[in-house]
Structure 1
Amino acid sequence: MTPSTHPLFWRDDALPQVELRYVPDGHKVAYAAHSHREWSIGAILDGKSAFLCADRQHTVSHGDIVMMDPNIVHACNPLPNSPWAYYMMHIDVSWLAGILYESGLSPHIDFYSANMDTLKSEYFYKKFIQLAHCLMRDTCTQKNELNAQKAAMLKSYLVRLFEYLYSENQQRIGRKKPSPPATILAVAAYLDEYYLDNQSIKQLSQRFNISTSYLVRSFTKHFSMSPHAYRLNKRIQEGQIALKSGCNIVDIAQTVGFNDQAHFQRSFKQRVAATPKQYQSKK
């Protein structure tokens, strides 16, 4: 029997703060720049990819670990004629901060990751694969015991990883690019709240009393995507939340601001590496 090439998603009500994605074959997907609300970590299983994270470009391949802070714009596109397979885990920031605090570490997630988007470590790579296999394992017996094992293994891995990131990055902490100007932050906050509106760049610039050229240039500089792409990314994030709740896909598309399901599906797949239906199904 031929193994499925479709992406698989693991979610469990016993550990709702975590989502795990397995993409066995993503070499035909064109990934658009996007971001996640969660802290993210992934392992490259096969192939090579151009990994853009914020304003840094990397080439990653089998055996590499990639990490993204919350709301950091990134895109990972496989090199021409290269296979592409990976695990990607998204972790609720507040829950993760609590684990770090309980372990005597700083709860501020971005404190650990200055200039650290990729990690070449055989130890952390192998441990992450073991963790992913454990999370995706299921059984009809002793489910409570298995859930406890999954939670313990996950917490142990995260604590060890962040201890390592601190030791590697303590000389580089604070080397971050300047915060966006107050007006640009206000535009982003407005787009977060009114993501269903379809205001043009001209209308946005008039609302905040700035020129269209300054708005596009400064917003893209600080958020690594245009205002339009930022709003579209927000709609996809809201769509993911609705899909997890089991809502009808056609209704979701309209609710989060898409005129038709086809546009929603195309935009969703470019950012999530799966169709809405595939994402809604979980292992």
Structure 2
Amino acid sequence: MNTTTTESTPLFWRDARLPHVELRKVMDGRKVCYAPHSHTQWSIGAITAGKSTFQYRDTLHQIRAGDLVLMNPEWVHTCNPVSDQPWAYLMLYVDTGWLTDLRFQAGLLPQRQWRDIPVATVSDPVWHERYCHMADCLLDPQRDLLDKQTEVVEFLSDLMHELARQPVVAEPKAPQALETLARYLDDHSAEEVSLDTLCELSGYSAGHLIRAFRQYTGLTPHAYLVNRRIQLGRRELQNGIPIAEAALNAGFADQPHFQRAFKRLMAATPNQYRRSSPDQQVKTTGGKQ
């Protein structure tokens, strides 16, 4: 894949033959600002230069070059620059189901069911170096598919064993009504949803519903819905769907609304994200198997 880009433009690496991982590279993150958001994937980033802030749920971390940051699926977070100071990072998004299976087969989970990882940051030069080595392999169009698969599996397997030594932190159980609302928004993310409907489903008053839902997810119901729509639109773009069509399929009224929300939550435009399509990746690697 051609990795030529300006320093302020994010690079997204994807390969249809490795559908469970996606890599983002930012060389100058001074203008890269995120609104609070979450991912359906498990994510791990490496700060490669400078420093930034990492808001992870209710905790603010100061991170710098050499640190790794870890994000559980659905955990709200932001990672933003400090006073316009330069910083750079890599971010790997890993399919939650695939990683769950990897942990289960390694004997780190009692069953094939995701368990949150209670670690937010890792400050260890060995793990940082291994992460960057893996990322360099993925970004190199001359490396074979088997080589890339091996790097990803070895790094993540070893890291999961390391993190399994940390004590398990029990997450408070959310009320069933809030879990039901979250699943409802997941299933109807591309549709118009009213607060009246959510109140009827939960039995909560409007004010109580918004407060309780924010406490449970870290987002208001509307922010949660927009976040889900962006994830849906992101998958559409990965599959090569035109931006205007992806916007409508994801539940946005039009392309401008989609573009504004995408930039706010992804710190990249849909077009920047779409440039790294699976088809481009296979063509530029010569389709090596």
Normalising by structure 1, we get a TM-score of 0.90
In 2, the alpha carbon distance for the partners of 1:77 and 1:70 equals 19
In 1, the alpha carbon distance for the partners of 2:145 and 2:11 equals 19
Alignment of 1:182-221 (within 5 A): 182-221=176-215
Amino acid at match of 2:115: D
Amino acid at match of 1:161: L
* Partner residue in 1 for 2:169: 174
Deviation, structure 1 residue 221:
0.5
Deviation, structure 1 residue 29:
2.9
Amino acid at match of 1:8: L
1:110 aligns with 2:108: no
Change in Cα spacing, 1:15 to 1:199, as seen in structure 2 (3 Å) is closer
In 2, the alpha carbon distance for the partners of 1:2 and 1:197 equals 36
1:26·1:273 contact (CA, 8 Å) conserved in 2? no
* Structure 2 unaligned regions, length at least 5: 282-289
* Partner residue in 2 for 1:148: 146
Deviation, structure 1 residue 50:
1.8
Which of 27, 33, 36 does residue 33 from structure 1 map onto? 36
1:29·1:270 contact (CA, 8 Å) conserved in 2? no
2:53·2:79 contact (CA, 8 Å) conserved in 1? yes
Of 75-84 and 96-105, deviating more is 96-105
* Partner residue in 1 for 2:156: 158
Q: Secondary structure at the match of 1:164?
A: helix
* Partner residue in 2 for 1:248: 242
In 2, the alpha carbon distance for the partners of 1:212 and 1:74 equals 25
Change in Cα spacing, 1:202 to 1:47, as seen in structure 2 (3 Å) is farther
In 1, the alpha carbon distance for the partners of 2:160 and 2:174 equals 27
Amino acid at match of 1:131: M
Deviation, structure 1 residue 109:
4.6
1:239·1:252 contact (CA, 8 Å) conserved in 2? yes
Deviation, structure 1 residue 202:
4.2
2:8·2:31 contact (CA, 8 Å) conserved in 1? no
Which of 58, 66, 69 does residue 66 from structure 1 map onto? 69
Deviation, structure 1 residue 39:
0.9
In 1, the alpha carbon distance for the partners of 2:168 and 2:90 equals 28
Of 117-126 and 262-271, deviating more is 262-271
Which of 230, 235, 252 does residue 236 from structure 1 map onto? 230
Amino acid at match of 1:156: E
In 2, the alpha carbon distance for the partners of 1:30 and 1:105 equals 35
In 2, the alpha carbon distance for the partners of 1:4 and 1:90 equals 21
Amino acid at match of 1:218: A
* Partner residue in 1 for 2:256: 262
1:43·1:65 contact (CA, 8 Å) conserved in 2? yes
Q: Secondary structure at the match of 1:97?
A: helix
In 2, the alpha carbon distance for the partners of 1:101 and 1:183 equals 30
In 2, the alpha carbon distance for the partners of 1:165 and 1:109 equals 14
Q: Secondary structure at the match of 1:27?
A: coil
Deviation, structure 1 residue 260:
2.2
Which of 1, 8, 12 does residue 9 from structure 1 map onto? 12
Amino acid at match of 1:163: H
Change in Cα spacing, 1:227 to 1:81, as seen in structure 2 (3 Å) is same
Could you give the per-residue CA deviations for residues 113-169 of structure 1, whole angstroms, max 9, x where no partner exists? 22x111111100011011100000002xxx6xx1111111111111111111122x1
